Amino acid sequence: MEGVDYLGDERKKAVFDVEAMKIVWAGSRHAFEVSDRIAKLVANDPGFRKDGRTMLPRKELFKNTLRKAAYAWKRIIELRLSEEEASKLRVYVDEPAYTDLHWGMFVPAIKGQGTDEQQAKWLPLAYKMQIIGCYAQTELGHGSNVQGLETTATFDPHTDEFVIHSPTLTSSKWWPGGLGKVSTHAIVYARLITDGKDHGIHGFIVQLRSLEDHSSLPGITVADIGMKFGNGAYNTMDNGVLRFDHVRIPRNQMLMRVSQVTREGKYKQSDVPRQLVYGTMVYVRQTIVADASSALSRAVCIATRYSAVRRQFGSQNGGPETQVIDYKTQQSRLFPLLASAYAFRFVGEWLKWLYTDVTQRLQANDFSTLPEAHACTAGLKSLTTSATADGIEECRKLCGGHGYLCSSGLPELFAVYVPACTYEGDNTVLLLQVARFLIKTVSQLGTGKQMVGTTAYMGRMEHLMQCRCDVQRAEDWLKPSQVIEAFEARAARMSVSCARNLSKFANPEEGFAELSADLVEAAVAHCQLIVVSKFIEKLQQDIPGEGVKQQLEVLCGVYYLFLVHKHQGDFLSTSYLTPKQAALANDQLRALYSKVRPNAIALVDAFNYTDHYLGSILGRYDGNVYPKLYEAAWKDPLNESVIPDGYHEYVRPLLKQQLHTAKL
Amino acid sequence: MEGVDYLGDERKKAVFDVEAMKIVWAGSRHAFEVSDRIAKLVANDPGFRKDGRTMLPRKELFKNTLRKAAYAWKRIIELRLSEEEASKLRVYVDEPAYTDLHWGMFVPAIKGQGTDEQQAKWLPLAYKMQIIGCYAQTELGHGSNVQGLETTATFDPHTDEFVIHSPTLTSSKWWPGGLGKVSTHAIVYARLITDGKDHGIHGFIVQLRSLEDHSSLPGITVADIGMKFGNGAYNTMDNGVLRFDHVRIPRNQMLMRVSQVTREGKYKQSDVPRQLVYGTMVYVRQTIVADASSALSRAVCIATRYSAVRRQFGSQNGGPETQVIDYKTQQSRLFPLLASAYAFRFVGEWLKWLYTDVTQRLQANDFSTLPEAHACTAGLKSLTTSATADGIEECRKLCGGHGYLCSSGLPELFAVYVPACTYEGDNTVLLLQVARFLIKTVSQLGTGKQMVGTTAYMGRMEHLMQCRCDVQRAEDWLKPSQVIEAFEARAARMSVSCARNLSKFANPEEGFAELSADLVEAAVAHCQLIVVSKFIEKLQQDIPGEGVKQQLEVLCGVYYLFLVHKHQGDFLSTSYLTPKQAALANDQLRALYSKVRPNAIALVDAFNYTDHYLGSILGRYDGNVYPKLYEAAWKDPLNESVIPDGYHEYVRPLLKQQLHTAKL
Ligand SMILES: Cc1cc2nc3c(=O)[nH]c(=O)nc-3n(C[C@H](O)[C@H](O)[C@H](O)COP(=O)(O)OP(=O)(O)OC[C@H]3O[C@@H](n4cnc5c(N)ncnc54)[C@H](O)[C@@H]3O)c2cc1C
Ligand SMILES: Cc1cc2nc3c(=O)[nH]c(=O)nc-3n(C[C@H](O)[C@H](O)[C@H](O)COP(=O)(O)OP(=O)(O)OC[C@H]3O[C@@H](n4cnc5c(N)ncnc54)[C@H](O)[C@@H]3O)c2cc1C
């Protein structure tokens, strides 16, 4: 059976150069080569197997994660992997672990908020993993509202120490990944109090566990917060709870890059701009957008391949049945997700550029683009994670009953992904921030203030408020300028309409609260415009490879026309489109689905995912689904015996009408 | 801490009689009393505890389910529960088990498809659970397309037996609940072959396991298909795989009510109408709609209570922060789901009536309403299960980070619920059936054929194609006749527009395939009209209790105005509404949210769910969320020791830079 390729015919249908598309997806030839090499290295190493993961009880699951994390680190050292390679390796090991927080939050927090001395002291320890750190911000009672955190750090001038304390139950740290069982240290966010005065939330480096025997230090209570959504999934992570009972740390463990406490207990700001913090946020959220495209593309890859394997109905004269991918309903649910995966990929790439741009400007003390960059990353984080979470579940449903099996990989992918809608900013809270920014921008129209970056279109407000769509035939919907205008007009009109309605309120804050659901819709329209524009901009570049650019144009069309159809209410109610034009968009969309169809398998092959990384029998590269599903069933612990545990106590007495004497 | 009621103030705000609403929700005083009594009985019996469920590994989980099922049966016998009480007890035990299929599919299949003799022989055994049965239809290769099943039942006239056989791997039965480990018998669907001729799919009663020692009978291979989505959840069920190697059963084990095979091997139809089968389908789908309202109401109850407990932002002068339920964005996500739970409850009640009506007609050989009833139940099954699955996940997100914990109850509720979108008819496949029916109905317009039941509105097509909405002020959206017309006009216009587009195709089947995504949207519009109409009809009845009817009117308004807003594209593109009128609908919707707000907690209290049944710390009746979350964390197996299993092997060597010698 090895060597079969049930999808071979599908692969032959493609009219573009898959290898070239792989480079586009990866971002560059170099990125492709690194990814490809590391992915295979992980896939071929039995130490990184993950196939039994969803069957393990928590303790075994977690122990195995500890093993894998250590093994990964060992391999990174042995193979002398570069930072880029090491981080790719962690991606392909594909198992949430304390190392994610250590590298992704603890180290960056010290880098971003620590003074030079602090960096010199702590970073070498962290880089060698002589200490393991986590990021302890959220509390039982406060997540979104960081300013409401209750943990206190009170300066004691007698001993030159801070006293870290949890004054209430709700002030318990709750959620930090890596905290529950592993981290030796944490960046703890607490209210800084000096001389009775509250200076708000600051970060502190706190040691939690003994480096000798891992016992928790005096005054510290720490544990895991318990099972989370799904089997396997995020349960490999020890999200933790942490309470402090007057724990003392030296003064120099407050992160002092931006503000400081002196030996005398005086609080002062350094000359480093506070805005630097936003730079870090832009960075983290940019990685989240990139992750969204990875997660969505994995789900789409599984559902696309399986939809080509699965046949149901439509057999004629005893011939094979129809592949479900040939049903237009299946296409209309699947192909927009395929297009979204590509769209998010490209907007993620652009965000990487934006981050660099912002960083350079910050270094030159130019803060002018920061609010715009901040709103834009907040909005894109929200948009892409919500769409990805929903998209993964839709892919699962597209696989019918078999999608509900863990062996399909989709339940775990969903369960491990969904918290991205909540962490690093709850998606609704973020959209409200975007909305606030948009309203402010609208209010500045006509004041001579320059509209920058993704809000530049607002500078053409007069035109955008009046223009009408030109489309007369379905093909007109393929004109990029036409499409951009449509999305700009929609976003602009929705923002302006919100602003007008707001102006009817005497109290602007009350108005904002009352109209917040509409404001969120305006924010979504703005963010979708960004994704569409960046996709179109990408296509204005030179893209090598036979047929590659054409395929991307088709996907881009699917992405925006799907949005036009889904949100036609917005386009019609703002009177930009006529019903006839909306119908033409839908016709064009259908036509594009037919162009995607023959290329669908090749388009997901271009993600270049190994079967190990995909972790799905339905998504196997070779399409050999049924025998492998059948085989996998036998591995369930329930199948260790034909007669199940409990038969004698609970089933036989029932069948034999002897329950009255049974011990139950 | 016992006896606190953090939601007491919320409860006092309600302006309606909660006790009276409980009766409305339950359907009748009798139904309320039975539910209330049985729910408390289950909740107070330690034998039915379920709080550790999400932490158990599969084998222990399953064994415990066997125990509970036996214990439930024992209690049913001891307490001499009526059928109604027994089935309520199974509901409140709230754990999928083989008994669901035994009572829900095996027994009804024999009742519906067995002859009188077959019923006399098998039903008494089944009623006493001397045999346990499941429903084995789906195969590895065929689910939706039942006519494509591959299992064969070949009549052997020499021995007067059928030979049941699985000719291919894909013909393996795959998915049946209760099959994997427990059932002694199954209704097996197979192609009936007599004398070389294939008569299509028929049902057979097949014994699978020895009644003495539970070993599988010769020729039978049976096992569990493995882990499914989520922790706990549907993993308490032994969905199974089953292969036959020429297994022989007596001729009288074919279910022969509708068609028969004679001793000589002659195939013949009885005079019992085939349509009876549809009656059963109407029945089963009606229960699914009722289940949707239960599942959604549970999730809504949790999210509503927690949204009143949770406070975030907006503290003024050190006062308490804002309850998140006071944010309009939270309301605009939550209240439509609350309204949907009520809407689905009432449409479910009406479907129960429809089932009785259809049954009576069938008995009188009146098949005239069957296609309409069939389309309507198929559509409502699809509509309500999709909305419920999405709604549960939205409720989880509404709880922020804490919703991701299993102790919130929401992950398990989602994972156990979602397959309802797939089983008993994949939701897309069902909507396509509705669409087919609608197109047929449209094609019969003007032929003099009477439009019945839920398609009666199509009889007024001329008016519906021309009318325009009369709304001039937001309050006009509260007129039921106005609303009905809006939904009728939208549904009618979408169906007619599809029919027109279809007529442009030379081959109608090709047209149907090409336009199927649009057809599905028309089907959704039709089904939403049914739900809205039934809600409005309910309100035309006499409803006792102070303020109860008024509250339901508010919820009804929220339900339909939310739909008008969500689907404003449909209403605008069919030119029934103007943008201004759509905006007024949105204004009215916002106004209604404010009316729901003070009553929200009482409206979920009216579901009368015990804390046991809810199974959620966030949804606790007393609102005492934080201490209980904190307590629950400590029960995770990972917290049995401070130092995790694996520390010595995998963490210490890493911290101590000794990985090179570690065994990983
Ligand atoms: C898997 C996972 C890992 C995590 N890892 C970490 C970690 O490593 N370190 C760490 O410190 N934290 C971590 N967190 C915590 C995470 O950052 C918070 O859960 C997140 O910030 C959301 O906050 P919350 O839970 O308080 O939600 P809440 O704010 O309580 O949200 C509840 C509801 O209220 C709404 N809401 C809140 N405020 C407003 C408003 N102003 N206007 C309108 N609506 C509002 C939200 O939209 C939501 O619907 C993690 C969480 C998860 C789930
Ligand atoms: C938890 C669970 C319990 C179950 N219990 C039982 C049981 O007790 N007994 C039993 O016999 N079975 C059972 N089943 C099986 C269930 O009935 C099938 O999974 C269901 O009928 C869907 O069929 P499928 O899996 O073949 O989906 P598929 O038909 O393969 O669906 C895959 C995709 O193809 C699409 N599709 C299929 N046909 C068409 C078409 N004609 N037009 C457009 N799109 C199409 C679907 O919309 C879907 O997106 C169970 C399943 C689950 C998940």
Known catalytic residue: A10?
A: no
pLDDT of residue A4: 86
Closest residue to atom 14 of ligand 1, CA basis: A175
Burial label, A542 (beta-carbon count in 10 A; 0-12, 13-18, 19+):
exposed
Q: 3-state DSSP helix/strand/coil percent for chain B, to nearest 5?
A: 60, 10, 30
Span from the CA of B423 to the centroid of ligand 2 (angstroms): 6
**How confident is the model over B84-131, as pLDDT tens digits?**
999 999 999 999 999 999 999 999 999 999 999 999 999 999 999 999
Phi, psi of A220 (to 5 degrees): -110, 125
| Low pLDDT (below 70) residues in chain B | 1-2
Span from the CA of B457 to the centroid of ligand 1 (angstroms): 47
Question: Exactly one of A393, A424, A488, A553 is catalytic; which is it?
Answer: A424
pLDDT of residue B1: 46
Chain A contact for B46 (CB, 8 A cutoff): no
Span from the CA of A658 to the centroid of ligand 1 (angstroms): 52
CA A171 – CA A202 distance, rounded (Å): 15
Mean residue pLDDT across chain A: 96
* SS3 call for B261: strand
Are B664 and A71 in contact (CB < 8 Å)? yes
Please state, for a pLDDT cut of 90, what percent of chain B lies above it. 94
pLDDT of residue B274: 79
Q: Which of A55, A58, A428 sits opposite B637 (nearest CB)?
A: A58
Q: Which of A73, A223, A327 sits opposite B634 (nearest CB)?
A: A223
Instruction: Look up residue A361 and give its two tokens.
Output: 């400007």
**How confident is the model over A105-123, as pLDDT tens digits?**
999 999 999 999 999 999 9
Residue A583 has pLDDT above 50, yes or no: yes
pLDDT of residue B316: 87
**How confident is the model over A271-296, as pLDDT tens digits?**
888 777 777 788 889 999 999 999 99
CA A498 – CA A518 distance, rounded (Å): 7
pLDDT of residue A271: 83
Instruction: Look up residue A164 and give its two tokens.
Output: 């870290």
Are B633 and A225 in contact (CB < 8 Å)? yes
Chain B contact for A364 (CB, 8 A cutoff): no
Are A657 and B181 in contact (CB < 8 Å)? no
Chain B contact for A213 (CB, 8 A cutoff): yes
pLDDT of residue A274: 79
How is the beta sheet containing B240-244 ordered, strand by strand?
B173-174, B240-244, B220-224
The answer as to CATH 2.40.110.10 being correct for domain A107-270 is yes
Restricting to B residues 221-240, those with a Cβ less than 8 Å away from any Cβ of A are 222-231, 234-235, 238
Q: Where are the domains of chain A?
A: 107-270, 277-450+474-605
What number of residues does chain B have? 664
Q: Which ligand is nearest to the CA of A395?
A: 2
As a whole number, mean pLDDT of residues A26-50 equals 98
Residue A1 has pLDDT above 50, yes or no: no
CATH T-level assignment (fold) for domain A277-450+474-605: Butyryl-CoA Dehydrogenase, subunit A; domain 3 (1.20.140)
Chain B contact for A333 (CB, 8 A cutoff): yes
CA A70 – CA A653 distance, rounded (Å): 49
**How confident is the model over B420-469, as pLDDT tens digits?**
999 999 999 999 999 999 999 999 998 988 888 999 999 999 999 999 99
As a whole number, mean pLDDT of residues A345-350 equals 98
**How confident is the model over A607-657, as pLDDT tens digits?**
999 999 999 999 999 999 999 999 999 999 999 999 999 999 999 999 999
Q: HSE (CB half, 13 Å, CA atoms) of B418?
A: 28
Pair type for strands B185-194 and B133-136: parallel
Instruction: Look up residue B426 and give its two tokens.
Output: 């994949």
The answer as to CATH 1.20.140.10 being correct for domain B277-605 is yes
Residue A189 distance to chain B (closest CA, Å)? 17
Report whether A436 contacts A512 (CB < 8 A). Answer: yes
Helices (H), B207-327: 276-309
Q: Which ligand is nearest to the CA of B141?
A: 2
Q: Say which residues have a Cβ less than 8 Å from residue B536's Cβ, sequence separation at least 6.
A: B480, B483, B484, B556
Q: What is the ipTM of this complex?
A: 0.98
CATH T-level assignment (fold) for domain B107-272: Butyryl-CoA Dehydrogenase, subunit A; domain 2 (2.40.110)
Report whether B235 contacts B57 (CB < 8 A). Answer: no
Residue A427 has pLDDT above 90, yes or no: yes
pLDDT of residue B275: 79
Concatenated DSSP letters of B384-436: HHHHHHHHHHHHHHHTGGGGGBGGGSHHHHHHHHGGGGTTTS-HHHHHHHHHH
Burial label, B46 (beta-carbon count in 10 A; 0-12, 13-18, 19+):
exposed
Chain A contact for B568 (CB, 8 A cutoff): yes
Span from the CA of B324 to the centroid of ligand 1 (angstroms): 12
How is the beta sheet containing A220-224 ordered, strand by strand?
A173-174, A240-244, A220-224
Q: Which of B78, B654, B660 sits opposite A129 (nearest CB)?
A: B654
CA B510 – CA B516 distance, rounded (Å): 10
pLDDT range class, residue A2, cuts 50, 70, 90: low
Q: Estimate to the nearest angstrom the gap between the alpha carbon of A230 and the chain centroid.
A: 17
Residue A251 distance to chain B (closest CA, Å)? 25
Restricting to A residues 159-188, those with a Cβ less than 8 Å away from any Cβ of B are 169-170, 172, 175, 180-182, 184
Counting from 1 in the atom list of ligand 1, the atom nearest the Cα of B313 is 41
Burial label, A417 (beta-carbon count in 10 A; 0-12, 13-18, 19+):
buried
Q: Is B453 left (phi over 0), alpha (psi -120 to 50) or beta?
A: left
